Amino acid sequence: MRRFADETPEVVISVPAPASVAALFETAIAAFTARGEPRWRGFERLLENVRTEWNAWPRHHDPVFARDGHWELGTRRHGSPLLTLVGDRYVNQ
């Protein structure tokens, strides 16, 4: 994963979720955070682990479930997607 000179987090990620899901997510982050480290490091490791596990599975025979290629995020009626995944980056189109 790319590292930056100033690694002070400047972004807050907020997702509405039931308390049970939020607790599970916090537990998962804690499992990947070493003692004395900031929580964002654990979150980063969690995401790396998810990506590794996801890519370890064989490709699905149905292209709807493809893990790479062209994906659209935020589909709208009668409009283009808000974001499109091209390779490993989301882009506005």
Element containing residue 19 per DSSP (H, E): helix 19-31
User: For position 93, what pLDDT does the model report?
Assistant: 60
pLDDT along the chain (93 residues), means of 10: 60 86 93 91 92 81 59 59 67 66
Element containing residue 73 per DSSP (H, E): strand 70-73
The whole-angstrom separation of Cα 15 and Cα 87 is 25
Q: φ, ψ for residue 53 (rounded to 5)?
A: -65, -45
User: For position 58, what pLDDT does the model report?
Assistant: 78
Q: In Å, how far from its chain's centre is CA 29?
A: 13
Q: What's the predicted TM-score (pTM) here?
A: 0.56
**Local structure of 8: helix, strand or coil:** coil
